């Protein structure tokens, strides 16, 4: 075996290790954090805010990403059990559903940025657009639009023969060769990473501009504590999405510009390592929201503390009730024993007295 083959094998082994390790980290962090998100965003202090509704909806889709997509990716990338490579129906359905579900949370955060922009406006009629009714309509609209915009995937995805990282020809689920494969590369970059990130930054800048134009934050709208905390949480989430998906966008651009260049096996292996690493890093955009909200939002931390305290209080109450019940049962047993002993003494006393009289 040549040194080139050794290098390629080492790179492929590194890919498997990176994918499995990072995926398990995301699976663990995401499962715990997103469940807490669902509990906290349904609390009375937060559930009536349109921005909270966007966060809650994003969390629901992120749960699907973490609990369904990530385990499937671990099985396919780490253990070579990708059933999409052998069933055309599953191939089309899986890639369509996975692309749509991963894209929706990013656009819901964009809507949250738009909501902050509307709420910071100096014009009353614009601020009124920030409402729960508007948020519900916007969520239904963006989900429907993204489903429609991805409808081409079940049509053009197919099982084709391709070389794996070790040079073996294997079946794999990909878009049709030619124009569509280049299109889907740009499309996934634009819809999942580039456009949402740019829009988040744009509306963030517009929100800052609105605040500066107003001269001060209006007392009846954005000076409320909950609004400020939601803005801080949103900023943290935006930064996480931008930095988690930026390497993916950079790689997609690089791959598009270098697609026509001749590449040897070693370079392809390194590019595959870069692609897999960039892809798996995007899952941090779906798994870390709870920890970002906890760090950035005081109201979020307070709700978390309330939930933990309530759980501990209930557990203590259960232990206290069980202990009290145990003590009561013990006292009852002691009373029965004492009563039984007294009865026995009386009985034996009577027997002894009768024997003496006899």
The domain ranges of the chain are 3-296
How many Cα atoms occupy the beta-carbon half-sphere of 215 within 13 Å? 0
3-296 topology per CATH: Rhopdopsin 7-helix transmembrane proteins (1.20.1070)
| pLDDT on residue 56 | 92
**Whole-structure pTM value:** 0.79
Task: State the DSSP H helix or E strand holding residue 163, giving kind and residue range, or none if neither.
Answer: strand 157-163
| Closest alpha carbon to 118 in 105, 133, 131 | 131
Tell me: pLDDT of 289 over 50: yes
| pLDDT on residue 314 | 56
Computed on alpha carbons and rounded to an integer, the radius of gyration of the chain in Å comes to 31
Exposure string for 216-238, b = 16+ CB within 10 A, e = fewer: eebeebbeeebbebbbbbbbbbb
Q: How far apart are CA 282 and CA 242, in angstroms?
A: 9
Exposure string for 139-158, b = 16+ CB within 10 A, e = fewer: beebbeebeeebeebeeebe
Mean predicted confidence (pLDDT) in 115-144: 89
Tell me: pLDDT of 99 over 80: yes
| pLDDT on residue 224 | 57
| pLDDT on residue 357 | 52
Tell me: pLDDT of 219 over 50: no
Tell me: pLDDT of 202 over 70: yes
| pLDDT on residue 221 | 45
User: By the 8 A CB rule, do 121 and 195 touch?
Assistant: no
Tell me: pLDDT of 325 over 70: no
Res. 140 pLDDT band, cuts 50 70 90: very high
Mean pLDDT estimate for the chain: 80
* Backbone CA torsion sign across 248, 144, 31, 20: negative
Mean predicted confidence (pLDDT) in 67-83: 83
Percent of the chain with pLDDT over 70: 80
How many Cα atoms occupy the beta-carbon half-sphere of 347 within 13 Å? 6
pLDDT in tens, 28-51: 999 999 998 898 888 877 778 888
Percent of the chain with pLDDT over 90: 23
Task: State the DSSP H helix or E strand holding residue 171, giving kind and residue range, or none if neither.
Answer: strand 169-175
Tell me: pLDDT of 13 over 90: no
| pLDDT on residue 326 | 54
Least confident of 107-116, 207-216, 250-259: 207-216
Mean predicted confidence (pLDDT) in 315-338: 58
Tell me: pLDDT of 356 over 70: no
* Backbone CA torsion sign across 319, 320, 325, 331: positive
Q: How many other β-carbons are positioned within 10 Å of the β-carbon of residue 44?
A: 7
């Amino acid at each position: 075996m040549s040194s080139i083959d050794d290098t390629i094998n080492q790179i492929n082994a590194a890919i498997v290790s990176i994918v499995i390790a990072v995926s398990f980290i995301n699976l663990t962090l995401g499962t715990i954090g997103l469940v807490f998100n669902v509990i906290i965003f349904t609390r009375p202090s937060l559930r009536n805010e349109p921005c909270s509704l966007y966060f809650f909806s994003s969390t629901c889709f992120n749960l699907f990403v973490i609990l369904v997509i990530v385990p499937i990716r671990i099985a396919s990338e780490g253990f070579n059990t990708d059933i999409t490579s052998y069933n055309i129906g599953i191939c089309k359905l899986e890639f369509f559903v996975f692309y749509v579900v991963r894209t929706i949370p990013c656009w819901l955060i964009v809507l949250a940025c738009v909501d902050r922009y509307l709420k910071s406006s100096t014009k009353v009629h614009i601020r009124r657009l920030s409402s729960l009714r508007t948020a519900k309509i916007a969520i239904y609209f963006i989900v429907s639009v993204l489903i429609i915009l991805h409808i081409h995937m079940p049509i053009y995805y197919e099982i084709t023969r391709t070389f794996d990282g070790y040079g073996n020809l294997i079946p794999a689920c990909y878009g049709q060769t030619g124009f569509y494969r280049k299109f889907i590369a740009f499309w996934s970059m634009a819809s999942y990473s580039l456009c949402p990130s740019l829009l988040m930054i744009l509306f963030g800048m517009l929100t800052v501009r609105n605040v500066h134009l107003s001269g001060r934050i209006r007392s009846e709208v954005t000076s409320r504590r909950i609004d400020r905390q939601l803005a801080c949480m949103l900023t943290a989430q935006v930064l996480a999405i931008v930095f988690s998906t930026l390497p993916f966008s950079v790689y997609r651009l690089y791959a598009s510009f270098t697609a026509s260049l001749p590449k040897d096996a070693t370079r392809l292996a390194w590019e595959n390592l870069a692609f897999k690493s960039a892809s798996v890093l995007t899952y941090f955009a779906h798994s870390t929201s709870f920890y970002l909200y906890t760090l950035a939002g005081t109201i979020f931390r307070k709700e978390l503390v309330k939930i933990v305290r309530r759980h501990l209080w209930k557990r203590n109450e259960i232990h206290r009730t069980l202990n009290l019940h145990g003590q009561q049962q013990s006292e009852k047993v002691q009373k029965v024993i004492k009563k039984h002993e007294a009865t026995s003494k009386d009985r034996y006393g009577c027997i002894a007295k009768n024997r003496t009289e006899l």
